[in-house]
């Protein structure tokens, strides 16, 4: 039988209680006895004084309610590459800890979620940035100016905060400032695991309700190249959410979060939730038919398992491996339509996707023509070595990476302003400008100043 959960609160010396409910900053003594280990109790009691915000989040969390404490997540084996005793509470004991909590730790209790995540596009986020020489050059050489001391700042403060980083440790087994802290979704940890659960379920509450709200996705899925939260707000789904979403129920159990708890879908509803006959998934790529971030969109065939086999057989490169549904793009679209039919009749869903698919295919016609011009200029030596000083290469980049993504994502998410004005309208202007540059260089055989 569990002991009672005892919280002894001693208020400030004056006796005045000025702290808000749930705030532990004014606590002098916090003792917790609820089936926790002695080490677990000691962590909570110490950190109530040193990092009260962490303890306040934890005590309101599901972890706190079921007796999962600091030590359960932050302890590692002595031979772990992340193991350290730099916390005074464990120094000189047989307990080793780390500030880093990797998916291997989360997977001890949530193995299905971790496995599903590993099959998603999120899992490749950090490696994708690291694997692209052009991206590395942009961050370090162009944006970072090749500065010997400052060139890592653009990556550390920008890209890796969403994509994640390959975390490295210093001589004391503390993570280096260049690679941590971050909330990037695709962190690669020193123990070899990939991912970052706290990107969506922020520490130390790890709330399912928080992860189901659009804000969980909006911190990364925004801006000129993938304005997903702006597109969502432009859609009727976003209109309904913004009108009444604060009144919806977000804490239903997995596979039990259904219409009635909400009146319109959030990001998590469509891409992750158990709805209708579907089960919840942490593979956010599973229900996607198209790859709409690439220069030319292809359907996602075979999912992660097929991609791994093709890579090992030398048929594709890592950069071309598309996460998706294991049974291919038709199965992915079928599952997405299953989500839609919870609220919409079949003709509504079929007609929507028919025209959205055509918009993706229309984009491809632009991209194929634009890339052909760039490839021809390259073959004839008519591109500058510095791509960011070359108007032709900048036009191509914006065609696929900015306007083209907005065009495709706006269509597939029901955001008309992004499908049109921020998308295809700007794209057709850019390709005309690219054609003008191309024709001039082909005619003169020279690159303009």
pLDDT tens per residue, range 370-418: 999 999 999 999 999 999 999 999 999 999 999 999 999 999 999 999 9
pLDDT score of 2 = 32
Rounded distance, CA 335 to CA 350, Å?
13
pLDDT score of 311 = 54
Q: How far does Cα 390 stand from its chain's mean position?
A: 31
> CB–CB of 232/215 below 8 Å?
no
> CB–CB of 326/306 below 8 Å?
yes
- The tokens for 93 are 């004991």
Surface-to-core class of residue 247, CB atoms within 10 Å of its CB (0-12 exposed, 13-18 middle, 19+ buried): exposed
pLDDT score of 318 = 47
- The tokens for 303 are 């999912």
Mark the ranges of the chain whose per-residue pLDDT is less than 50.
1-19, 316, 318-319
pLDDT score of 449 = 83
pLDDT tens per residue, range 185-234: 999 999 999 999 999 999 999 999 999 999 999 999 999 999 999 999 99
Question: At residue 279, what are phi and psi to the nearest 5 degrees?
Answer: -100, 155
Residues present in the chain in total = 449
Percentages of the chain per state (helix, strand, coil), in multiples of 5:
50, 5, 45
Rounded distance, CA 289 to CA 298, Å?
9
pLDDT score of 17 = 35
- The tokens for 3 are 């002991």
Question: At residue 175, what are phi and psi to the nearest 5 degrees?
Answer: -65, 145
Q: Tell me the three state secondary structure of residue 302.
A: coil
């Amino acid at each position: 039988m569990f002991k009672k959960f005892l919280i002894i609160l001693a208020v400030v010396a004056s006796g005045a209680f000025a702290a808000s409910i749930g705030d532990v900053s004014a606590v002098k003594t916090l003792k917790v006895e609820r089936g926790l280990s002695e080490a677990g109790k000691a962590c909570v009691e110490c950190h109530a004084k040193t990092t009260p915000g962490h303890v306040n989040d934890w005590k309101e969390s599901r972890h706190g309610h079921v007796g999962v404490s600091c030590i359960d997540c932050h302890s590692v084996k002595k031979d772990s590459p992340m193991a350290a005793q730099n916390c005074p509470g464990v120094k000189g004991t047989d307990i080793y800890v780390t500030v880093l909590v990797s998916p291997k730790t989360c997977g001890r209790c949530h193995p299905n979620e971790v496995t599903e995540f590993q099959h998603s596009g999120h899992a490749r986020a950090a490696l994708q940035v690291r694997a692209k020489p052009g991206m590395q050059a942009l961050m370090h050489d162009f944006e970072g100016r090749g500065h010997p001391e400052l060139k890592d700042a653009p990556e550390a403060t920008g890209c890796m905060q969403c994509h994640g980083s390959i975390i490295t440790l210093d001589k004391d087994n503390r993570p280096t400032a260049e690679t941590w802290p971050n909330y990037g979704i695709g962190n690669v940890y020193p123990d070899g695991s990939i991912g970052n659960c706290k990107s969506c379920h922020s520490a130390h509450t790890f709330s399912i309700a928080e992860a189901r709200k659009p804000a969980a996705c909006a911190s990364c899925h925004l801006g000129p190249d993938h304005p997903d939260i702006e597109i969502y707000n432009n859609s009727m789904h976003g209109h309904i959410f913004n009108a009444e979403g604060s009144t919806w129920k977000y804490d239903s159990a997995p596979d039990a979060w259904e219409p009635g708890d909400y009146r319109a879908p959030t990001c998590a509803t469509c891409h992750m939730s158990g709805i209708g006959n579907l089960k919840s998934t942490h593979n956010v790529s599973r229900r996607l038919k198209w790859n709409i971030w690439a220069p030319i969109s292809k359907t996602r065939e075979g999912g992660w398992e097929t991609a791994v086999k093709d890579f090992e057989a030398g048929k594709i490169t890592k950069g071309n491996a598309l996460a998706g549904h294991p049974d291919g793009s038709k199965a992915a679209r079928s599952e997405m339509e299953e989500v839609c039919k919870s609220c919409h009749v079949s003709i509504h869903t079929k007609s929507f996707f028919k025209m959205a698919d055509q918009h993706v295919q229309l984009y491809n016609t632009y991209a194929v023509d634009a890339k052909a011009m760039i490839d021809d200029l390259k073959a004839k030596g008519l591109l500058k070595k510095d791509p960011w000083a070359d108007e032709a290469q900048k036009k191509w980049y914006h065609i696929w990476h900015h306007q083209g993504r907005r065009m495709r994502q706006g269509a597939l998410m029901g955001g008309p302003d992004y499908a049109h004005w921020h998308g295809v309208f700007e794209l057709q202007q850019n390709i005309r400008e690219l054609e003008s540059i191309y024709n001039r260089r082909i005619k003169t055989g020279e690159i303009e100043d």
